[in-house]
Amino acid sequence: MNNSKSHTIYISKLEDITSAAKQLLGIIGSCRIVLLKGNLGSGKTTLTQQIVTILGHKGSTSSPTYSLVNEYEGKNGSIYHMDLYRLNDLNEAYEIGIEDYLYSGNYCFIEWPELIMDLIKGETFVQMNIEQMDDGVRKVEIQIF
């Protein structure tokens, strides 16, 4: 993979998340596949929920940990938020219809994406690595591939 662009954003408190989400959407641009990596509790779901709201979803949002995929309606179509942590192999990803989501042209925010990396080879995607620092600040490193 050839890393073409890299950015870093710091989120120091929960109140900063809306501003950070807007910044992230500006960086993401027209890219629709967004991979979120980070330890449990690093803020992947919270950040994604804020992005979904900014994209125009008016209802509530929830973690897709048990549903695996949550679909939201935004201003410009469907938004998919996936949590692949509980999947054991690529066949399970195929069973949930992962290809339909990935190639839909809609936003796909994917937590724990390691299992499906082979499916996005050749696609443009954004990878966000979220790290909780010792002082509680979240460091979000964004790379566009």
Separation of alpha carbons 71 and 101, rounded Å: 10
pLDDT of residue 59: 94
- DSSP character at residue 71: E
Q: Which residues of the chain have pLDDT under 70?
A: 1-4
Separation of alpha carbons 49 and 4, rounded Å: 27
pLDDT of residue 4: 63
- Model pTM score: 0.93
pLDDT of residue 73: 98
Q: Which domain holds residue 46?
A: 5-144
pLDDT of residue 32: 96
Separation of alpha carbons 45 and 51, rounded Å: 10
| Count of domains for the chain | 1
pLDDT digits (tens, 9 = 90+) for 133-144: 999 899 999 999
Report the relative pairing of strands 107-111 and 69-74 from DSSP bridges.
Answer: unpaired
CATH number where 119 lies: 3.40.50.300
Count of beta carbons in the 10 Å neighbourhood of residue 30: 5
